Structure formats: C-alpha cells, structure tokens
Amino acid sequence: MTMDVHARYRTEGGGELVPRFNERFILSLGKCGNCLVCDDELNILPLSRASLKTLKQNSVNKGDAGEVIVRTSKEQEELDELKQSLEDTPNVGVLVELSKTLDQARAVLTFLEACSEKTNRSTIALTAARGRGKSAAIGLCLAGAISFGFSTIMVTAPEPENLVAVFDFVLRGLKALKYQEHLDFNVTYNNASGREQTKCITSIEVHREHHRQIIRYAKPQEKDKFATAEIVAIDEAAAIPLPVVRALMSSERLTFMSSTVNGYEGTGRALSLKLIKELRDAKKLNQTHAASQAASQIAGVRTKKGEFKVHEQRWKAAADAASGASSNSTGASLLEIELITPIRYATGDPVEKWLNNLLCLDCGSSMGDKLAGGAPAPSDCELYVVDRDALFSYHALSESFLQKMMGLYTSAHYKNSPNDLQMLSDAPAHAVFVLLSPSAEQDGNSLPDILCVIQVALEGKISRKAVEAQLARGHRSAGDLIPWTVSQQFGDSNFAQLSGARIVRVAVHPHVQGMGYGSRAVELLYRYYNGEMIALHGDGDESTEEESDDNDPNDNDSDNGGIDETAKGILGEKLKPRKRLPPLLLPLTEVKAPRLDWIGTSFGLTAQLYKFWKRAGMRMLYLRQTTNELTGEHSTIMVRALPRRTGFDDAWLPAFASDSQRRIVSLLGGPFQTMDVKSAGAILADFELYHNSQVNSSGNGNEAGERAIQARSGLSSTSDTISMEELNYFLTPHDLKRLEQYGRNLCDHHLVTDLLPATARLYFTGRFGVEFRLSNLQAALLCGIGLQNKTIDQLTVELDLPTNQVLAMFNKAVRKISMAFNEIAEESEKKNMLSDKARAKIEKDAEKLKNVTHQTLDEDAEEGAQVALKALKSSGDEEYINNIQDVVQDKSDQENNEVTNSAEIKTPGKRKLSGDDKEVSASSKKKSSKKDKSAKKKKSKR
C-alpha cells in the first residue's frame, strides 16, 4: 500500500521504498481493545479476534446492548472535596468549580495564587500531553486575573486559531464571575483568518466600575506590544521560536506558559529541554546565592560574640533562602506544573494507549530508568547496524527496542513528530546505527542498553543534467539536502554527482551525555564508511520470506471468537508478525559499506554543537543567513571527505571551505551580527587553524596541488604575509600611526574604530603570516568589534567580563597588530632603499666576501689581472692585448726600480735578513725571472 507521503522519500540515488510503517500499523490494530476491523459487509476480520473476545467477556447483557458502569475514583472524590472547601472563597471557588480534574484544579489554584500577589514576578510553566486541559486552565486563570484587577493582559500563540479554547474558557470564567457581555465586557473577533465559519477572538475589553481592563492577542514577533503588559500568557510555547519566547519573558511581570510535550501533532522539546532548563538553572543559582547570603547574615561579625546578630535579619535571610530568591536577585522564580489526568480520553483509555504505542509518543518517560550495564569506557563500545525490517516487524522485542530508540530521540532532540518515525521506517536512503556496551553480546536474555543512536541518510548520485535543469528553474527535489545546497551555493554541479552520508541525528542517553559516547559513535561511523573496517562476511543471504504460521504450536490464540476457520479470501486471512526475519543487530564488520565520497551533517549552530562536530574532523561549508523558525539558530552544513574509500581527488573540500570562510567574514557585520561572539570566534579560529596547517604542509611535495586549491578558492595570495603595497590599499600611514598610538595608550579606542574592520579581515584571512597569533579572547574581541560591529558594552555582557578587563585585552590585541604592521613597513623600507640592480650587485659582492681566502695583495692583483685578460681575449683583439701587456710590464719594472732606490736611500745600513725575508726575496726573484722570459718570447714573436 503506497501513500502520498512516500513521494517525498524517493530520491534519485535511493533504492526501492518498502512500506514498513503500514504493515506495523495494520498489525497494531489487532492489539487495540476498542477497534474492530470489518469488511464492506460488516464481517469482522480475523485481525480483530482478540478485541471481539474481550468485548464478549466485559459486556453486561441487558437486552441487545451493553450497560456502562461509572465508578467514582479517589481522585474525583478529592476534587469534590476541594471544590466544597473553596465554595465561599471569592473569585476562586467559582473558577475551580469549572475544573474537570484534580490536576487542572490545582493548576488553576497555582495560577490564581500567583495573580493574588501583584508584585509576583514568577514564571509558571504548564506542560502536559494532548487532551489534558492546558488551554482551559489558562483561560480560567486569565478570567481570575481580571477579577484581581490586572489592567493589561497579553496572550500569544503561533496562530489565533490556537487560542479558541483559551478565549472560550475566559468567557466561561467571566460569566461565572457574574460578568455580562455587552454590559461589562465586549468581544472583538478576527474575520481575516481566511475561514468565514471560524471566528477567532482577538481581544476582550472589560469596563466595570470605571476601570478599563483588556485581554488582547498579539503575534509573538510583535514584542513591542508586550512592553506595558502586566501578565503575558503564552499558549503552545514549544511551537514558537525559542529566542522569541525568551524575549517575551521579563522579570518585571508574571508569565504563564503552556505547551504540549507529546501528541500526534508533534512533540515539542525546545521548551522543556532548553528554555525550562535555563530557568531551572537560574532558580538553583538564586537559591545558592540566597543561602550563602543567609549564612553570612546568620554568622554575623565574629567580634564581640556576634552582637550584630539581629533576629529580624536572620529571619529575613532564612525566608529569602526558603523562597529561592535573595533580596538582591533580579531573576524571576520558576513554577512547574504538569497535568497527567486526561480529559479528552478516559483514564486508561485503550485508544490513547494504542496511539501512544503506535506513534511512540510517550516513550520519553522510560528514559528515567538507569542503565543496567553502567557506563563503560567509550573506547570499548561498538557500533551496530539496525535492520529496519526486523525493527518494524511488530515483534515484542523489536517493539521494546523501538520504544527505547525513540525515547532517546525524544530526550535528546528539540522536536520529534510521528512523521520522523515514518521516515525512519519507509525512507529507502535512511539507516540506523546504535552504540552498545561491550557486554551486549553476553546479555542474551535481555535487551541491551542503548548508549547512542545515529540516523543516517545516504545522499548524492544526482546526474549533472538533473542538477543543472532544476537549478536553472530555481527548484530542487525533496531529499539530498547537502548535495543540493552545496551545488546551489557554490554553483558546482559536479558535487551533486558524488555520494555521501548525512548524519540526521545523534541521540545519546540522558544519563551519559557529555561522556564521549557520541564522539565514539561518529568516529566508528566514519571508519566504517571510509573502508577501515573489513567485512568478515559478504552481504549474506538474508531471507525475509514468510513461513506458514497456521499450525504454529506456540500460537496461544486458539479461540477464534466465532470466526469461521474454513473461510477463504479476506475472511480467512490471518495477519501476524513475520517469523523469518534477519537479525535485528549486526556488527559493522559483517555489513558491507557503500562506496562514499564524504560524510556530513546539518544542524542549528551553537557553540557546543560546533565544537562537537569540529572535534569529529568536519569542516564548515555553509551557514544559512536566516535563522530557523523554531529554534532561532542558523542552520549550518559541515562535511568531511572520505579519501581512502574512493581514492578520488578531494581538493574540493579545502576550496569550498576557503570560499565559505570569505563569505562568513564578510557577512558577520550583516546577517550574522546577532550571532554569539563565542560561536563566531570559534568558526574563525577553525578557519585560521586549518589555513596555518595548509601553509605548513605546502612543502610536502604537493605545491602544485596547493596552489591549484588556493586559486580555485580565490585566496591564492593568502599563503604569504601581506606586502606593504597591498597594505596601502587598506590602511594609510596615518592609520598605522593611530593604531600605534592606541597600542601605547595615547588615545581612546573610539579613534581606531574605523580601522578595525579592515584589520580584522586581514587577520582572520591569514594575511599576518603563520607565526602571528592572538589569544582566543583577543580574537573574539577583534571579531566582535571589527567584524560584527558590536560595542564594548555588548561584548562585556556576552563574555561576562568586567569592562576594564575587556578594554585591556583589546588594547593588547591592537598593540600586537600594530607591531606586526611596523615590521611589515620596516621590511618594505629595507627593500626599497636601493634599486633592484644596485641591490643585486651588492648582494653578489656580499656573497663573494663570504668566500674570501687568506691571500696576499699581489696574489689578489694578479688574479684580477688574469680576469681582465680573459675578458679582453674574449673580445678577439690579440694585438691590442699584447701592447697592453708590454706597457703594463714596463710600468711595473719602472716602479720596482723606484721602490728599490727609495729603499736604499732611506736605509743607511743593511739589516740582517730573517728566514721569512729570504723566502720572500727568493720568490720575488723567481717571479721576475719568469716575467723577463715571457717578455723576451713576446719580442721574438714580433
């Protein structure tokens, strides 16, 4: 049986779709006690045999129909007692009288108690499953707030239709409080919702006793309308973006929140996992601060045996500690209320139980159980492949394992809906892996503890023609998130032809989160797809053929409930879970991995998640400029290449990453200006670290490839330090002087604010050289001020540091940058002092001076003469050369005679020759005799 939703699961590179969800749904109908499956002639099919048998046993025969027996429960008795005790309480008893369950009555009392204190700044969070009366409780509370004198009450929800039940019970509450429509209050409807039959109330204006009060609806994004509100009520808060909800919550007013934590419309986890957790942590911090302050006041001054211990101060301190908020605390307290008793369903209703089991809606409650096997070392755990045919076969063990898996999804992810369950079961490109403890194989009698679950979607293998055709029309098919996004952003249709695996979810058990199990699972998954795990067996011949189970001796359902066993066709068909199925769990070494080129992920950017995926070896390729509608986070894509598996050229990864770096650096002052400076600094630090590693590894014999990558990325000049000629395009000498003055504390930081964008861009693109580095805090400050255009006050709040410390660290960063600029200027001046030819000659002469040997002046002169003669001989004029030699010889003889005569005149007496003088005279005689002989030979030639 095919469904329309299956069209979204089919991809060009995916396999054949198997409707496992439909099979499990049909088999689950046999376990629903209030379900009878009939044919078109109202003949009960064998699937409903168990329901028919239960119906016969429980019905009380009275004529032809059964009799409904209503019993009063203990909870109902407590509710009646509570209503009776509050009958005489003004403005409260009539509202509690409208409550249907004890949980709802207690919630209304809590709300009204908070409203009775006008100075209360509490935040009340109401969570429950679907059909528990959350919206009704909010409406009754708002009616009570009107009776307590609140003037301005704002109500918000994703859509006005979500508040139909809220305003309905506001009207019921006002009428119970003796308010009359058109006399005491007026109702305003919204007819612009596109539904003429559905009139949504947008405001209720109360005007009794010359006091104007109003309950008004406003969109969550219109936060300016909430400025004057005394009470803000947020219904279905999990469906509103988290930053919007956080902005609506103020410590100066009372805030009501309600949200559905599970239900067939979706399971909202952002409220409970993120926002309420933040409020709970803030409450604990306030309690700790109040307790410490109380202890200090109780202790008093140690001198004079505590004479300053005043009883009133001690009582006040103890009261502050008990209430969880100190006298100087600015945070609002948190009250959590949960509704358990159903109103739409009866208690223990079989239909609700069947729906929760089928769609795994209430599986998050089982996550409170402790791990039976403890917390083993992550390095000892192994990853297993989950066979989806066995997982969705509706066997008892498979169902228990599925509930555990979905429980991890619910506890670890911000949103989980039944659509995700159907995608997991039917999508052909999806796969599931679980991380189990090393003792999982020995525990054969029980289900192993699931430490981590990874859901993977295989993407890619899209033809180039299909990519170009769809991108030309501005359209892309469903699925293949990373290939389509990267191809569209970089204009490269070749990337879509590669195949890869996108990690959809990584869910870790809540008791062992942050202990390394997620990193271990991702590491094993990378090794599996990279071909580092050798498959010991082949694909196997896993047969999924069904056996004939008609004569199964273990079939305990022998009572046919009045159904003819000999019937043929649909009346004789028995629908049971298949018996012959492949193993539920298989080690990675027994499953052959597909040949992939990359492994990646897509997630909402936070500093913690980015650190996790960066530690897994992935690089950022894309960061969405608009935020996610639900979480308010920027979606990002990170990818890691698998070179060993394919052996292809993976130069595309650093090229795309460098391009992404340039984009993010340019957009930090625009769409990414509101991003946390810690996240922005972590991203840019990762780019800088990878760039330095690329430069250091460029001498490994692959310089041509590195230059090609840099050319493709548009950063061909970033491997060298910036030159002075390039620097002059960004900064003038006067700008460099200003930076130097601020580095020496001679001017204010406002004087160099205009220079920081260009300076920060040069630093974060690696133009200062490999050895130049700023500390993490200094880089974050440079990023926040220079690229994101944030003020010092904003960075002080984000970094939680004093202003003087922020300014001091920023001054150190500017001083380092100024010194680097001065070094670049000095090197440029040294090179420009002489011309190129003169500098080359000087450098050549300097090289010669380095090789000078110990020789006399005569030997040096003779060597120079020989060089000159060689140069003349090369010209070809031999006669001119001989004449020059004769002139030189005659001149040298004449000089020798003059030197000899002058020496005789100056020395009246002969001194005794030493051994060295004898050697010098002997060598000079030999040289002179050689010169005479050479001169005679030349004359004879003439």
**What is the tens place of the pLDDT at every residue in 615-656?**
999 999 999 999 877 677 899 999 999 987 655 556 788 889
Say whether 517 counts as a known binding-site residue: yes
- Over residues 797-814, the mean pLDDT reads 92
Count Cβ atoms below 10 Å from residue 751 Cβ, excluding itself. 13
**CATH class of the 86-238+246-261+268-279 domain in this structure:** alpha beta
Radius of gyration of the chain (CA): 43
In the predicted structure, residue 923 carries a pLDDT above the cut 70: no
Report the side by side order of strands in the sheet with 211-217: 185-190, 200-208, 211-217, 152-156, 231-234, 254-262, 123-129, 334-339
Query: 3-state SS string over 749-807?
Result: HHHHHHHHHHHHHHHHCCCCCCCCCCCHHHHHHHHHHHHCCCCHHHHHHHHCCCHHHHH
- Over residues 554-569, the mean pLDDT reads 50
In the predicted structure, residue 443 carries a pLDDT above the cut 70: no
In the predicted structure, residue 491 carries a pLDDT above the cut 70: yes
Say whether 132 counts as a known binding-site residue: yes
In the predicted structure, residue 14 carries a pLDDT above the cut 80: no
Q: How confident is the model at residue 299 (pLDDT cuts 50, 70, 90)?
A: low
Q: What is the pLDDT of residue 807?
A: 93
* Residue given tokens 């295989």 in the structure block: 458
Residue 548 DSSP SS3: coil
What 8-state DSSP symbol labels residue 272?
I
- Over residues 786-802, the mean pLDDT reads 91
Q: What is the pLDDT of residue 307?
A: 47
* Burial of 899: CB neighbours in 10 Å, binned 0-12, 13-18, 19+: exposed
Q: Residue 774 half-sphere exposure, CB side, CA atoms within 13 Å?
A: 31
Q: d(Cα 628, Cα 605) in Å, to the nearest integer?
A: 10
Q: What is the pLDDT of residue 381?
A: 93
Q: d(Cα 253, Cα 223) in Å, to the nearest integer?
A: 14
How many percent of the chain have pLDDT more than 70? Answer: 69
Question: Which tens digits make up the pLDDT trace of 90-148?
Answer: 889 999 999 999 999 999 999 998 888 776 678 888 888 888 899 999 999 999 999 99
Q: What is the pLDDT of residue 465?
A: 78
More confident: 320 or 441: 441
Domain with CATH 3.40.630.30 in the chain: 370-540+575-639
Say whether 407 counts as a known binding-site residue: no
Say whether 572 counts as a known binding-site residue: no
Q: d(Cα 206, Cα 209) in Å, to the nearest integer?
A: 10
Q: What is the pLDDT of residue 896?
A: 60
In the predicted structure, residue 330 carries a pLDDT above the cut 60: no
Q: Are 414 and 238 in contact (CB under 8 A)?
A: no
Q: d(Cα 427, Cα 635) in Å, to the nearest integer?
A: 23
Q: Are 21 and 426 in contact (CB under 8 A)?
A: yes
Within 8 A by CB and 6+ apart from 513, the residues are: 412
Q: How confident is the model at residue 837 (pLDDT cuts 50, 70, 90)?
A: low
Q: What is the pLDDT of residue 22?
A: 87
Say whether 929 counts as a known binding-site residue: no
Question: Which tens digits make up the pLDDT trace of 194-204?
Answer: 444 567 889 99
Residue 116's H or E segment, with its range, is: helix 102-116
Please provide the DSSP assignment of 730-748 as one string: T--HHHHHHHHHHHTTSS-
> What mean pLDDT is reported for the chain?
77
Within 8 A by CB and 6+ apart from 351, the residues are: 32, 34, 35, 345
Q: How confident is the model at residue 63 (pLDDT cuts 50, 70, 90)?
A: very low
Q: d(Cα 560, Cα 572) in Å, to the nearest integer?
A: 11
In the predicted structure, residue 270 carries a pLDDT above the cut 60: no
Say whether 518 counts as a known binding-site residue: yes
Q: d(Cα 938, Cα 942) in Å, to the nearest integer?
A: 6
Say whether 918 counts as a known binding-site residue: no
Please provide the DSSP assignment of 398-460 as one string: HHHHHHHHHHHHHHHSSEE-HHHHHHHHH-TTEEEEEEE-TTTTT-TTSPPPEEEEEEEEEEE
Q: What is the pLDDT of residue 535?
A: 63
More confident: 409 or 368: 409
Residue type, 80: D
Say whether 133 counts as a known binding-site residue: yes
Q: How confident is the model at residue 261 (pLDDT cuts 50, 70, 90)?
A: confident
Q: Considering only 31-40, 70-79, 578-587, 643-652, which range has the smallest mean pLDDT?
A: 643-652
Q: What is the pLDDT of residue 550?
A: 44
Q: Is the dihedral of CA 892, 895, 901, 906 positive or negative?
A: negative
Please provide the DSSP assignment of 595-617 as one string: --SEEEEEEE--HHHHHHHHHTT
Q: What is the pLDDT of residue 279?
A: 73
In the predicted structure, residue 173 carries a pLDDT above the cut 90: yes
In the predicted structure, residue 764 carries a pLDDT above the cut 70: yes
Say whether 876 counts as a known binding-site residue: no
Closest to 805 (Cα-Cα) out of 828, 775, 845, 825:
775
- Over residues 686-706, the mean pLDDT reads 54
Q: d(Cα 754, Cα 742) in Å, to the nearest integer?
A: 13
Say whether 344 counts as a known binding-site residue: yes
Say whether 136 counts as a known binding-site residue: yes
Say whether 513 counts as a known binding-site residue: yes
Residue 98 DSSP SS3: coil
Say whether 515 counts as a known binding-site residue: yes
Say whether 137 counts as a known binding-site residue: yes
Start-to-end CA span in the chain (Å): 119
Angle at 537 between CA 533 and CA 538, to 5 degrees: 105
Question: Which tens digits make up the pLDDT trace of 529-544?
Answer: 998 887 665 544 444 4
Q: What is the pLDDT of residue 297?
A: 56
| Helix/strand number for the chain, H first, E second | 34, 18
* Residue given tokens 């991702």 in the structure block: 522
Q: d(Cα 279, Cα 284) in Å, to the nearest integer?
A: 9
Q: Considering only 278-282, 404-408, 762-766, 832-836, which range has the smallest mean pLDDT?
A: 832-836
Could you give the C-alpha distances from 176 to 169, 180, 710, 793, 886, in angstroms and in order? 10, 10, 75, 51, 137
Which pair of tokens denotes residue 529? 């797809």
Say whether 139 counts as a known binding-site residue: yes
Q: What is the pLDDT of residue 551?
A: 43
Say whether 690 counts as a known binding-site residue: no
Q: How confident is the model at residue 567 (pLDDT cuts 50, 70, 90)?
A: low
Q: d(Cα 283, Cα 288) in Å, to the nearest integer?
A: 9
Which span out of 162-176, 341-355, 639-653, 823-837 was modeled with the highest average pLDDT? 162-176
Q: What is the pLDDT of residue 556?
A: 43
Q: Are 677 and 790 in contact (CB under 8 A)?
A: yes
Q: d(Cα 517, Cα 678) in Å, to the nearest integer?
A: 25
More confident: 377 or 463: 377
- Over residues 19-43, the mean pLDDT reads 84
Q: How confident is the model at residue 938 (pLDDT cuts 50, 70, 90)?
A: low
Domain with CATH 3.40.50.300 in the chain: 86-238+246-261+268-279
Say whether 508 counts as a known binding-site residue: yes
More confident: 456 or 846: 456
- Over residues 907-930, the mean pLDDT reads 53
Q: How confident is the model at residue 56 (pLDDT cuts 50, 70, 90)?
A: low
b/e 781-793 (16+ beta carbons within 10 angstroms → b): bbbbbbbbebeee
What 8-state DSSP symbol labels residue 301?
-
Q: Name the superfamily (CATH) of residues 370-540+575-639.
A: Gcn5-related N-acetyltransferase (GNAT) (3.40.630.30)
In the predicted structure, residue 609 carries a pLDDT above the cut 80: yes
Q: What is the pLDDT of residue 55?
A: 65
In the predicted structure, residue 507 carries a pLDDT above the cut 70: yes
- Over residues 869-897, the mean pLDDT reads 67
